[in-house]
A = this chain, B = another copy of it.
Amino acid sequence: MIASIDPRTGVTVEELDVAAEDLDGLGGQAQGARQELAEAGRAGRAAMLRAMAAALEDRRADLVATADRETGLGLPRLNGELTRTAFQLGLFADVLDDGGYLEATIDHPGDTPMGPRPDLRRMLLPLGPVAVFGASNFPFAFSVPGGDTASALAAGCPVVAKVHPAHPVTSVLSRDALLAGARTAGFTTDVVSLVYSNETATRLVQHPDITAVGFTGSLRVGRMLADLAAARPVPIPFYGELGALNPLVVGRAAARNRGAQIGDGLAGSFMLGVGQFCTKPGVAVIPSGVDGESLVRALVDRVTAAGAGTMLSEHTADAFAAGADRLRGVPGVEVLARGGAAPADGFWGSPLLLKAPATALDGPLLEECFGPELVLVGYDSDDDAVATLGRFGPALTASIHADDDDRPLATRVLAQVQHTAGRIVWNGYPTGVAVAWATHHGGPYPATTNALHTSVGASAIRRWLRPVCFQDVPQDLLPDELRDVPSQPRVPRRVDGVLA
């Protein structure tokens, strides 16, 4: 039995009757799905993804109501998230139509200084069945029907998804919608299946038929699973999208010229979704003294006016409370503002604005605290600001607010965060990750366990593919995309070194 709990009340609303789980059938089932995904080709998989998006839309009311009841994230946000999730499935259908993701490369036979070169043709092929661990904070966009699943299916990899205990019924309904879409598109196998318990999920990461893992969640669990994946007899790639402090730096001129506006924006960003974003700005490096005052005042006003928000689960609320206590306990840390108190029942988090001297930056102040909390650190000079920024570890994002007079600082900050961040935001806030071709959602460890690839954006598909090179293979035995005269519209290819 898995409990579906309403976080607004803490009450178990429903119990999912989950049959005893075994993974014995995984190999055979995944093999069938893998073959069907391969035989469908890019066009067939694109049609499947679009049908899945339509199926999610068809079931929107039920999905969103269920997710709201399980997560407390509210209908507007969840409606937006479902839109995003359907859009994302469509983006990967576009990626398939385009075909550039295959990296099709052809070298015709030729002479080289080392002698004759054979005919060589390279493209990417799917790895095989993959495991996906969804996050609590995005019951659609980073869970069963989310980016990992969409990109893996696009690549041709069947998905076994771990149900997050914070939204089990949403997960089951999402899986049903995806499979209904697949059926509409003519698929007969279960291209997505679910596992429920932590114990089964652990065995899943170690299962010989699983070829890669996508994970969104905490550093602690992500690292544990990454270590398991690396220690397998056959190690497999583990794409863990974990979390980050996501530092934000405000230039002195920007603070002076539009401090209240930045304070408002920053308050909105760190309290968005009750601070439950992996891209939440956890620390802001701001000018000390009078230049920073209007920014701080705006933040204090917004936080003081804010009520407590429902958090995703008892675990999340408890972890936030404990994290906030740890932060407040660091010598030198000062509470600037608190939001309204939490109700007695349910799982709640109250916004918290802290201030810390740069000299205190250590321990809890260098770790992500998942929830509506922001630490301000003042700087006197540009050197101070750069040194403070250098104290923080790598992150998913780094943000800079700068006006013209801040260019010297901004240039230094940009040069620095190119080594430590996956996305660099100018005069904006890091929450909100666009589903687009140019998006990169990742960053050096501990932001992710694999900084080379992304968990959002078109190139997320690259995680589930490996290159294969065909040497002198006859035309009719080659994949269509590598033939001299493909039967399908030609994909972007590099031929004899030239992209065309």
A435 in complex: contacting residue of B114, B421, B445, CB < 8 Å: B114
Cα of A474 to Cα of B234 in the assembled complex, Å: 45
Residues of B within 8 A of A459 (CB): 103, 105, 122, 467
A478-500, CB under 8 A of B: which get 1 and which 0? 00000000000000101011010
Take A230-B230, A426-B472 as given contacts and tell me if A497 and B467 are in contact as well, using a CB distance cutoff of 8 Å. Answer: no
The 10 A-B pairs at the shortest CB distance, nearest first, are namely A230-B230, A440-B469, A120-B438, A440-B467, A105-B438, A122-B438, A107-B438, A423-B469, A426-B472, A426-B473
Q: Which of B117, B237, B434 contacts A450 (CB 8 A)?
A: B237
Q: Roughly how many angstroms separate A237 CA and B449 CA in the complex, as a whole number? A: 9
Q: Write out the residue numbers on chain B whose beta carbons fall within 8 Å of the beta carbon of A452.
A: 237, 462-463, 465-467
Q: Is A23's beta carbon under 8 Å from chain B? A: no
Binary interface encoding of chain A residues 170-182 relative to chain B, with 1 for a CB under 8 A from any of its CBs, else 0: 0000000000000
Chain B residue nearest to A471 (CB atoms) is: B425
B83 near A114: Cβ-Cβ < 8 Å: yes
Instruction: Name the B residues within 8 Å of A468 (CB-CB).
Output: 418, 421-424, 440
**CB pair A428 B472 closer than 8 Å:** yes
Question: Which partner residue on chain B sits nearest A240 by CB separation?
Answer: B235
Contact A107–B437 (Cβ < 8 Å):
yes
Q: A94-B497, A100-B499, A440-B467 are in contact. Are A445 and B234 (CB under 8 A)?
A: yes
Q: Are A473 and B414 in contact (CB under 8 A)?
A: yes
Is A243 on the interface with B (CB-CB < 8 A)? no
A496: chain B residues at CB < 8 Å are 437
A83 and B112 alpha carbons, distance in the complex (Å): 10
- The reply to whether A112 and B469 form a contact with Cβ atoms under 8 Å apart is no
| Contact status B444-A466, CB under 8 Å | yes
Chain B residues whose C-beta falls within 8 Å of the C-beta of A423 in the assembled complex: 468-471
Query: How far does the Cβ of A94 sit from chain B's closest Cβ, in whole Å?
Result: 7
B426–A497 CB distance below 8 A: no
* A494 partner residues in chain B, CB cutoff 8 A: 100, 437-438
Interchain CB contact under 8 A, A477 and B231:
no
Chain A, interface residues (CB within 8 Å), range: 35 or more
Smallest CB-CB separation from A491: which chain B residue?
A: B499
Beta-carbon contacts under 8 Å, A387-441 to B: 410-411, 414, 418-419, 421-428, 434-441
Are the CB atoms of A422 and B469 closer together than 8 Å?
Answer: yes
A168 within 8 A of B: no
| Pairwise interchain contact A411-B230, C-beta atoms closer than 8 A | no
CB distance from A209 to the nearest CB of B (A): 12
> Is B473's CB under 8 angstroms from A113's CB?
no
Having A226-B230, A452-B462, one finds 10 other A-B pairs with CB under 8 Å, namely: A84-B113, A112-B436, A125-B418, A234-B446, A237-B452, A410-B477, A422-B468, A423-B469, A426-B471, A440-B468
Q: Is A87 an interface residue (CB 8 A)?
A: yes
Contact A428 B471 (CB under 8 A): yes
List the B side residues contacting A234 at CB < 8 Å.
444-446
Q: Which residue of B lies closest to A114 (CB)?
A: B84
Pairs A–B under 8 Å by Cβ, sample size 8: A98-B497, A105-B438, A122-B440, A230-B235, A235-B449, A237-B450, A427-B472, A452-B465
- The yes or no answer to A442 lying at the interface (CB within 8 A) is yes
Interface string of A103-128 (1 = CB under 8 A from B): 10111000011100110111001011
* Given the contacts A114-B83, A235-B230, A437-B494, A467 and B454 also touching, CB distance less than 8 Å: yes
